[in-house]
Amino acid sequence: MAEDAGYQKYFPVSWEELHRNGRALAWRLMELGPFEGIVAVTRGGLVPAAIVARELDIRNIETVCIAAYRSDKSVGEVNIIKGLDIPNNGKGWLIVDDLVDSGITAKYVRDMIPEAHFATIYAKPKGRPRVDTFITEVSQDTWILFPWDQAPSFAKPIVEEHR
């Protein structure tokens, strides 16, 4: 599954941690605003965009709906489900996503609104050049388990995973 797509590690993120990092992202972005609005990249960017919107008191929120991951966690053909109609190439707007991984989704969004400021909570080395602001960098071979993708269960000790 994750190993087939090149992911060797899991990085679980709790709701509390996501909220804390979303607020940290807002703190970094505050000095760059005010922003005319936010474009949330669905689906992963919806929760971080809501946190940033609240913290920066932004009420104008749009979505761009893109699917690139396959069920085996590999990146496939990019499917633009809903595009954007933002004036001035996005100047004065903020794009928010949960992470930038390979940078493929970010490239498509950036091409739609090249003047917008792109912010993510997490960034991986391949995608990092595509975003302007991020909070935490993780290795390329790490799959981030967001709160909406996990449920409580038994976890083996790390040492047992490498035997």
44 is an annotated ligand-binding site residue: yes
What one-character DSSP code corresponds to residue 132?
S
Which residue shows structure tokens 């913290």? 55
Catalytic site includes residue 149:
no
SS3 155: coil
Which residue shows structure tokens 């790390």? 158
Phi, psi of 96 (to 5 degrees): -125, 130
CA pair distance 75, 152, nearest whole angstrom: 27
20 upstream amide cis, omega within 30 of 0: no
What is the token pair recorded at 132? 């302007």
104 is an annotated ligand-binding site residue: yes
100 is an annotated ligand-binding site residue: yes
Catalytic site includes residue 132:
no
143 is an annotated ligand-binding site residue: yes
144 is an annotated ligand-binding site residue: yes
43 is an annotated ligand-binding site residue: yes
Catalytic site includes residue 85:
no
Query: Which member of 4, 85, 98, 149 is catalytic?
Result: 98
Query: Which member of 4, 97, 132, 141 is catalytic?
Result: 97
Answer whether 94's CB lies under 8 Å from 45's CB.
no
Query: Which member of 4, 57, 72, 101 is catalytic?
Result: 101
Active centre residues (catalytic): 97-98, 101
- Return binding residues for GMP: 101-105, 143-144
Q: Which residues does the annotation place in the binding site for 5-phospho-alpha-D-ribose 1-diphosphate?
A: 43-44, 97-105
Task: Name the binding residues for xanthine.
Answer: 101, 144
Binding residues: 43-44, 97-105, 143-144
